[in-house]
Chain A
């Protein structure tokens, strides 16, 4: 058995030398050095983001994660004591009674989660090993209440250890979005981690000192099966972030499941969730906005009848699509929270219910919505008198044997805190993240009580509001959830037989990112903007589309200038070009638009370099 602590120290020393020699950064184990590490990781992320997905790249990423992760681990050990331990192929830092995987953290940060922060990771780590210095007293009490109530209702809950095991197996098999984001950097590899620079540091050779972290290949199927009663791997204590075990221990054949299927449908900016019970019952929770394409989705599945529609609250991005559904497909029952809106869209929704002759039901906390043999417990709101429509969202919990779901609509902290204080069981295996992942929802104490294994948010790519917000993603990560989003994963389908669950997604993840110019490399290629297509001329009231091509990873914005100034139409948000460099915007040209030849200004930014171009655009 080799001396792992000695190895890791040597690896950290190598990291320090690399930082100094290649990047001019002083990593000296001071608190300030974590900022420098953060910068180095950001650089690595940007460098890897724009490279071909191949074996060389995977190797380079793994080595990079090992190098900077070793420094981070040593930093943690110096600060709080502890030792390195080897678990399977993974090097963990064991501090007091907790285990951490700084290498895995770095790996995720440089491949798929640039928003992760070293500072926050260390904060969470600290909170796990020291007696609750971060959690305010009140929240602690609340958590205690929740815990008690969970124990009382244990009959509905998977045993805790089972849940952990599931988590482990799940993570290794799937990681849906995260896994598919393996991107490369030959440049970085050549400059920083070239074989020559590794020669005198034999410890960095993966085959010797560093067994490869298992990298999940993009070719792996997106389906992940999570058996809940998997034989236990050594129990892993709560960690600042999930740890990957090395190999799957068990895989269930999906065909043996008698499944409940829940579709988190990609409807752009909005929510729409389809529930297909094992007895053929079908329900829909929200329908996205008027352009959501929800009807086509239902029709593509051969759905010609809905037992139930739930509108969590009456904002346009939740009920707009329901109007079309009600006008197209027979619906037995419509369930709402009873809160009214004044928009035409809401009025159309009411009209559509009236015409459909569906039963109309309003519910609040304490009631249960039945869909076949599925029971959706209504946890919020308490009444329909809230001033804030989002806050009044229906929050529903569905327990399907050992697998539970929490549907939150756009609920806000005010309601979430009331729900927490109620002591009701809000734990869920799968959480539909509130309000499209907005920072305005999902406070950490709420997420801690939910303790989701999987968190799914629904948001449109390049939406106008910046959803999901990084703060929310951080909080979800810190409670150990695997995150999926309809913006990056497309439609996300969870299948469960009540024991395990599987997750399928329709889109492979593209990482939006600017590659950066490393200090020792030459300038990369010049920025450019090519117009691929534009709907022009267009008549007022029509929908226009613009597609441009630029360097992958560039941040692109457009502004449409009419006679009176910049358009405020929805859909003109800023976007990052994907792997092929394409970016597409789609927006409605208002019916009041003055005819004429106007201009669209496209700006792309990469590595601090910015270029703009003007495209003529005719309205007639």
Chain B
């Protein structure tokens, strides 16, 4: 099944992925990810039975997430959340 996943971190030669909205944690060989894969990048993965069959970097999704997060961070930095 095709879904989205994000690289939470690398641990040695392994990568920790958080898969889908449920954020299922899968641990995959770093080498099984596309070259140039980085922490924080979103991927399109084909996951079957808790196993990543394929993964490609999803630049658009990554950019969208960054934009979203930056907006929230900006609110926090300005202290907007404490004003209302």
Q: Which chain A residues have a beta carbon within 8 Å of chain B's beta carbons?
A: 289-290, 315-317, 340-347, 350-351, 353-355, 357, 359-360, 362, 387-390, 438, 440, 464-466, 541, 560, 562-570, 588-594
Contact status of A592 and B69, CB under 8 A, knowing A343-B6, A360-B81: no
Whole-angstrom CA separation of A387 from B40 in the bound complex: 10
Whole-angstrom CA separation of A445 from B4 in the bound complex: 42
Give the interface SS of chain A, mostly helix, strand, loop or mixed.
loop
Contact partner, A593, options B12, B23, B50, B62, Cβ 8 Å = B50
Contact status of A594 and B49, CB under 8 A, knowing A342-B40, A345-B23: yes
Contacts A289-B25, A344-B21 aside, 9 further interface pairs with beta carbons under 8 A come to A342-B69, A347-B65, A350-B73, A353-B76, A360-B81, A562-B50, A588-B24, A592-B48, A593-B49
Closest-by-CB residue of B relative to A571 is B25
From B9, B11, B26, B49, residue with most partner A Cβ within 10 Å: B49
Contact partner, B48, options A350, A388, A563, Cβ 8 Å = A563
Contact partner, B49, options A341, A387, A567, Cβ 8 Å = A567
A465 touches B49 (CB 8 A): no
Contact partner, A354, options B40, B52, B76, Cβ 8 Å = B76
Interface residues of B in 43-84 (CB under 8 A from A): 47-53, 62, 65-66, 68-70, 72-73, 75-77, 79, 81-82
Closest-by-CB residue of A relative to B17 is A568
Closest-by-CB residue of B relative to A269 is B11
Contact status of A350 and B69, CB under 8 A, knowing A315-B8, A316-B25, A592-B3: yes
A362: chain B residues at CB < 8 Å are 77
B41: chain A residues at CB < 8 Å are 342
Give the interface SS of chain B, mostly helix, strand, loop or mixed.
mixed
Nearest 6 pairs between A and B by C-beta?
A: A562-B49, A564-B48, A590-B50, A567-B50, A360-B76, A354-B81
B73 touches A357 (CB 8 A): no
B50: chain A residues at CB < 8 Å are 560, 562, 567-569, 589-590, 592-593
Whole-angstrom CA separation of A353 from B82 in the bound complex: 10
Can you pick out 24 interface pairs between chain A and chain B where the beta carbons lie within 8 Å of each other? A315-B8, A316-B8, A316-B16, A316-B23, A342-B42, A342-B62, A347-B68, A353-B76, A354-B75, A354-B76, A357-B81, A389-B40, A440-B12, A541-B22, A564-B48, A565-B49, A565-B51, A567-B49, A569-B24, A569-B25, A569-B26, A590-B26, A591-B22, A592-B50
User: Is B1's CB within 8 Å of the partner chain A?
Assistant: yes
Whole-angstrom CA separation of A346 from B26 in the bound complex: 17
Contact partner, A390, options B6, B9, B72, Cβ 8 Å = B9
Contact partner, B11, options A340, A345, A438, A590, Cβ 8 Å = A438
B79 touches A438 (CB 8 A): no
Whole-angstrom CA separation of A569 from B19 in the bound complex: 11
A440: chain B residues at CB < 8 Å are 12
Whole-angstrom CA separation of A440 from B65 in the bound complex: 29
User: Is B18's CB within 8 Å of the partner chain A?
Assistant: yes
B65: chain A residues at CB < 8 Å are 342, 347
Q: Which chain B residues have a beta carbon within 8 Å of chain A's beta carbons?
A: 1, 3, 6, 8-9, 11-12, 14, 16, 18-28, 38-42, 47-53, 62, 65-66, 68-70, 72-73, 75-77, 79, 81-82
B24 touches A340 (CB 8 A): no
A589: chain B residues at CB < 8 Å are 50
Contact partner, B18, options A345, A560, A593, Cβ 8 Å = A345
Whole-angstrom CA separation of A315 from B11 in the bound complex: 11
Whole-angstrom CA separation of A345 from B5 in the bound complex: 12
B69 touches A347 (CB 8 A): yes
Contact status of A464 and B81, CB under 8 A, knowing A568-B50, A594-B48: no
Whole-angstrom CA separation of A290 from B26 in the bound complex: 14
Whole-angstrom CA separation of A465 from B39 in the bound complex: 17
Closest-by-CB residue of B relative to A362 is B77
From B18, B25, B52, B65, residue with most partner A Cβ within 10 Å: B25
A465 touches B26 (CB 8 A): no
B1: chain A residues at CB < 8 Å are 592
A389: chain B residues at CB < 8 Å are 9, 39-40
Closest-by-CB residue of B relative to A436 is B11
From B11, B39, B70, B82, residue with most partner A Cβ within 10 Å: B11
Whole-angstrom CA separation of A500 from B51 in the bound complex: 51
Whole-angstrom CA separation of A589 from B49 in the bound complex: 8
B73 touches A592 (CB 8 A): no
Contact partner, A340, options B16, B42, B70, B75, Cβ 8 Å = B70
Whole-angstrom CA separation of A560 from B3 in the bound complex: 22
B24: chain A residues at CB < 8 Å are 569, 588, 590-592
A317: chain B residues at CB < 8 Å are 9
A343 touches B40 (CB 8 A): yes
A387: chain B residues at CB < 8 Å are 38
Contact partner, B39, options A347, A359, A388, Cβ 8 Å = A388
